[in-house]
Structure formats: structure tokens, C-alpha cells
Structure 1
């Protein structure tokens, strides 16, 4: 497969607990079981992604315990802001975007932390602005979860105040002028004095502009409220779709919403999820993925049955589903892929090894299989790029970088080297400093 399109895909990578995107990755013999608490491991994985010329690292986060079973590792880092600070010191180009809630923070403290990181990293920081809907997370802050309308109204106010704070030190007030003896013109470092119904700040934020001006806004979530947030504020949307048709519909909806908000649709990038497993053969890739699936496979059998409209138990694990009256469950978008695999004659165990219960599409097999999937979606207009969730950071990042990335580069799908050194430059989005004047 080749392409003549000059557009290049973007590639980001999920970075979480120090082991991998699979909650059982900590049990793999290649990893140090204490990596959850070792910043050096996170730095090493970031450097691997930077070697592959990835545009960004994406840090999920939660205000609550994410370990659901004694045998599973938590899915998040100890603290993404601190982790990003460590990575910024040991990398030179790759961008970093962290999730941070507008429900459990205040604009001033978060604006200060993010812009400080943006300065320290040379303009490589992004913020995934989310609300908070977890009752247990709310309880950690002595609160209760507000209704959706209130949470999203607070988010809109929060983002606007944060961006106003980022722009409260005017660009031409920096750098200091030794000759005149003026460190910064105080007429250009001014309060913002903004107050909404839920949040407020006087300002100013005494931090000068970073190399990219200020952090990039990310957004994750496809609800109507999420689309409105993305349309008004975000440059990058972290998506979840299981077919290229659904991904394209999501991307088109976001681009249309951005245009309706008075923005150029090209200012917003839709990034689809990907959970690949690469090995010389499909069988080897399945066995590799199976290591992470096996600890929970018996619980997943019954769920697969619900996806296919049949009853399954662990006695069916090594049987095919030939002769059964199967149908894809219309309420689960992953079911169609499960049905296709069943019709191809795979056993129940191997259907589950294909990752059909994972959160994103899971191409399995040689590097060409993964590259073909990415090229097909990209050329279809389903996305502007992908955020890759490696099952096992220790090995899978290198495999992807050494085998999949060169194929994409040979096909003209992915850049050969970094063409910028800031997140805005990597993502191909315009400059913004302070509030977007079109939305004030």
C-alpha cells in the first residue's frame, strides 16, 4: 500500500502505570514489579517513544483508586504532573498531555502548574480538560458529584479563566532588559479579574510565555457536552471508535462543531485509539497477547457470549462456535468484530486473545497488519492519527518503533523526523496566547 497524500498522520502513546496498558502487564518477566513507583522506568519509555518520533505522550488520570482486583495493577501514574516534569528533563522533542479535572482543582493552581511545565519543557505540554463524575473521587475532596450541566458549565468557565491566566503576562513583557534595568513591565503583567458562577480568579499569573506560548487543550469524550467542549476549546480529541466508519462520523461531527463555533475545522485533530500486538505471525501475536488475557479469561467468556447472543462457559474455551446461531449485540460496538472472528473459525480462547474486549481496535500479527490498519483508517478520513496503547511498555514500544514506524515512513504516512520542537508545531495547530478572541 502506498499513498500520494501529503498529509501525515500523528502518533501519540498512552503512558500510565509503568508496566503497560494491560492491567496484568506487571506480571510479565521482562518488567521490574516496582516500576509503578520508579520514575526512571517512565522516562525510559518516553525516550523510546521519542526515538520513534511520536508527537505526544498521553497521561490518563483519576482522582480515585483504579486497581479493581488484587491481581491487577493500577492504570495511572503516581502523579502525571510530577512524572511529566521528570520526562521533560530527559527528552527534547516529544510532547506530553495530562488529564486534569476541572471539578477537583481550581483554575489558578492548575494554570500555574501547567504553564510552569510548559516553560520547563520548552513548550511541549498539553492539558486534557475533563470534569469529574466519580462519586468515590468526589469523596476524596469532601464533595459530591454535581449534575452534568453544572459540571460542564464549571469546565467552560475553568478553561476560559485558565487560558486568561496563561495570557496575563503579555508576550512583549519578556525577556528582561538588562540595559534598561526592567525585569518586566508591570503594565503588561495584569490581573484578569474574571468571575463565573462556579470559579473565579483575580490574577495575574506571573509566568512568561513558553516557547509555544501556552499549553495545548486536549479533550476526551464523545458525549454532546464533550463535543461542545472540544468545538470551543480543544485542538486534540482523544477518541474511542471500533470501526473506521464510526471514527469518521465522530471526526466529521467534531469538525462541523468547530466550524459552527467560529473556528477552522483543521484546528481540531481527532486521534483514534489503537491497541496492537506485533509478532512475526498471527499465531505468535495471539500467544503474546494471550499472556495478558489469561488471568481474566474465565470472567470474559460469559461476556463474549452476551456479545454474540449465546451462552458460553469456560468449558467452551477451546471450542469453535460453528453451528451456533450467533448475532452481534447492537449495544456493544465491539461485537461485530467478535462475530467476524467466530465466523472465521477461531476458538473462543483465540477470539478473546484477539483483544475484542479491549477499549480500542486491536490489530494482531506482523507489522504490516498494524500499518495497514492505520493507513486504511487514515486515508478513509477516520482520524488525524492514533494514540497507541502498548500492552507491555518494556518490549512493545521498541517493536512498534522498529517495525511499524518504518513501514509508515516508507509509505509516506508518517514523518521521518521531528519538524518542530513544540507540541503546537508537532500537531500542526496555530498559535494561541491567552483566551481565543473568537470565543470571548
Structure 2
């Protein structure tokens, strides 16, 4: 990528879209949770827009209230991406696997297989789990934080060592000589940690990019330390541009302290969006989704944000003078001040919801130009190296983003006109890596 462009990906966690009302829209397929068709279509649309990757988060338990909506994540991310891979050609495929439950050999094998199947487009978001429900599903107690990250560090290093256990020097099958591979370059890893171990070698050769790209979420303390050592992509939730800038600067500084180049780590902020030809159209789109999500519950949430009780019967009426005087922003909601500003402008409760104030910030409801302005502002302020966008309704939202926002970014020179490489490492501007980073070898 050029110095003027930024990284761009999309999360495909919920099968209908990021908004809780998306699954109840007339266009929604209620069977989408067990059918990868909608995911394949969304991935193809993202690839049509030249996005660098799609990202599938995961939880190893039922995440979400099944009484009111489908699970928040797919059935299983790595298998879902394996189903998507043959229907795409360039876009990166980032799965999530927890080091708390899977052995390094299993992780290395599954993600390397996805990488080879997709011709070098796989990424692994490495996470340690923390939820009691997850550990209960594996019959395990929740470990102490230090123990959890000790296993995490061992797992990542052993996984990468296994990826490097089959060297490129092993060559390719040669029918003339009768040698399938030069086994002198396929060697055991023989690593033993306190929590996990593996002999190796892995039974799958390197992909076109060497090995998968490692992603991690932004987390405080031991999580940030681990990300500085291993990650090339940090997928982060930062409520404001100022906080995102602070997080990114911290990440770059700690990466240098770990012995790596700060530019090797891409800080990628989540960014929720709803796009329309006009601001009014975008707001109307969101209002329909808010209605579908269950307006009573959504207004109850808005009541907490504004500090006043809102009656669902008055959703299309401006707040009274008394209510306006009583407005108090919820201290724990990033968009509370914006919600109060809209109320003071005379917006109705439904219109306030239509501006996305219940989104986990940052988010934007607006035109392609307005969304592009915000993304550009964040990058130029040093708050992000790119974004993982979340789409409100996948039925048509990915197409709207690709057809409306991406062309604006391209005209501004912020995104390339097409893919300039074939692998995920190409898309992120990263060199090939095969095995453990030699700068960290002393820590094994």
C-alpha cells in the first residue's frame, strides 16, 4: 500500500448485520445462521470493493439473547471462512481461535490449512478467553490472568514455530526424481512450555505468504505486551479519536520496546456505519432498523442515555421543555452528549435513535462523503492505520458501503483502485514470515 492509503476490512460477526434489528427486516433470511450463503455474498461484495480482509470474531458459548435474536457470531469462524475461500480470490480471511482451549498444533494446522486453501490470504486473531461460560464448556476453571497470558505466549510461539517447521527449501513434488519433499528441511519444533507443547513438524507446507498474519484485540496490561511482540494487526475499539490516537501511540511505543518496527503493527479501529445518499436518507434507514429491533427496548436504552423517561407512545414527538431541562448524559456512554445535542435541536426520540447514538462508538450515520471525511480525519490525526467496519444490515449495507463510500476514498487517494497483491501480507504491506520472529527467539 502507498503512504497515502489506509487498511480497510470488515467484520462479519452477525450473519444479518451489526444492528440488532437487521434479522427482523423483510429481506432477512431467518435461516442464515446455519447457511453460509449470506456470508459468502457479503465477502464477495467486500472483495468487489477491494477491502483488505474480512474478520470473523468468535465466542465458544452462546453469545446473545436467543429469545430476542440470533447468536452474535457465526457457528464456527474457521470453517465458515473455509466455505468462503473458494468463492473469493483476493480478500484476506481472518479467523479467531482462543489459545485457552485449542492446542498449538491444532491452531497451526487449521489456520495453515485455511492459508494454503486460500493461496496466502489467512489471518489468525489470537485471543485468550476470559468468560466463565467458555471455560465451563471445556470443563475448566477460569485461570488467573497471569496464567492465562503465560499459556497465550507459549501458544503463539509454538504455533509460529510449527508454521516454520516445514521450510520452503523442502521444495515442491518432483515426479521426475521421485522426491515429494526434501525432508531435511521439514524438522520437529520440539517445544515444551509449562502449559502447552508440541513436537511437530506440521504436515502442511508454507502458503504463498509464508504463514498467516497474526491479529490481536487491543487489551490493557499483559494483552498489550503480547500484542507488541506478536501482532501485525490490532483490531481495537476506541470510543473517541483522541483515545484511539493514545492507544495507537502506546502500541507503537511498546512494539519498538519489544524489538520490532512500529510500522509492522497496523492499528485498526472498529467503525460502525450507515450510509445514505443524503443524511436524511441514512437516518431514515436507521429509524427503520430501530423499529425492527423493538422500539420499546431501544427507547428504554435511550432513556438511560438521556437521563429522562421516554414514552414509546411519544416516539415521534419532540421532548417537552421540562424533559429538555432534565437531560443528563449517561457518563458511561460515549455518544450521550451527541444524543442530548440532538434532543436539544428538537429531534424526536425515534430520530435521535436514527442518528446511531446507541452504537458502540465510533460510528457514523451519514453520506459517503461524511463517512469518508471522518475516516480520513482519524488517519491523518494518527488515530488509526485503518478500520474494521461494521455494517448495519448485510442484506444491502455492504453493497452500499462498497458502491458509495469506497469510490470516494479512491478518488481521494486513500484506497487503491484495485488489489496490488495476492496475499493478506501484500494487502497490509508486510514481509513474508516463516516461523517465530527471530527477534523473539531468545524468549522461547
Instruction: Please tell me the TM-score bracket, short chain as reference.
Output: over 0.9
Structure 2 equivalent of residue 337 of structure 1: 338
For residue 326 of structure 1, report the CA deviation from its aligned partner: 3.8
Structure 2 equivalent of residue 388 of structure 1: 389
* 1:12-411 correspondence runs (5 A): 12-294=9-291, 295-314=293-312, 317=315, 318-320=317-319, 323-411=324-412
Q: Distance in 1 between matches of 2:320 and 2:300?
A: 14
Name the SS for the 1:277 alignment partner. Answer: strand
Q: Distance in 2 between matches of 1:336 and 1:423?
A: 39
- Greater shift after overlay, 15-24 or 71-80? 15-24
For residue 434 of structure 1, report the CA deviation from its aligned partner: 0.3
Compared CA separation, residues 95 and 183, structure 1 to 2 (3 A):
same
- Greater shift after overlay, 65-74 or 324-333? 324-333
For residue 220 of structure 1, report the CA deviation from its aligned partner: 1.1
Q: Distance in 1 between matches of 2:214 and 2:146?
A: 21
5+ residue gaps, structure 2:
none
Say if 1:48 and 1:398, in contact at 8 Å, map to a contact too.
yes
Q: Distance in 1 between matches of 2:294 and 2:143?
A: 34
Compared CA separation, residues 15 and 99, structure 1 to 2 (3 A):
same
For residue 377 of structure 1, report the CA deviation from its aligned partner: 1.2
Say if 1:129 and 1:218, in contact at 8 Å, map to a contact too.
yes
Compared CA separation, residues 8 and 78, structure 1 to 2 (3 A):
same
Q: Distance in 1 between matches of 2:342 and 2:229?
A: 40
RMSD of aligned Cα (Å) = 1.9
Compared CA separation, residues 429 and 336, structure 1 to 2 (3 A):
farther
Structure 1 equivalent of residue 440 of structure 2: 439
Structure 2 equivalent of residue 427 of structure 1: 428
For residue 6 of structure 1, report the CA deviation from its aligned partner: 3.8
Compared CA separation, residues 278 and 89, structure 1 to 2 (3 A):
same
For residue 311 of structure 1, report the CA deviation from its aligned partner: 4.8
| Residues 57-76 of structure 1: CA deviation (Å, up to 9, x unaligned) | 00011100123142312121
- Greater shift after overlay, 156-165 or 362-371? 362-371
Runs of 4+ in 1 over 6 A off after TM superposition: none
- TM-score of the two chains, using structure 1 as the length reference: 0.94
Name the SS for the 2:396 alignment partner. Answer: helix
For residue 150 of structure 1, report the CA deviation from its aligned partner: 1.1
Compared CA separation, residues 422 and 321, structure 1 to 2 (3 A):
farther
Among 4, 7, 22, the alignment partner of 1:7 is: 4
- TM-score of the two chains, using structure 2 as the length reference: 0.93
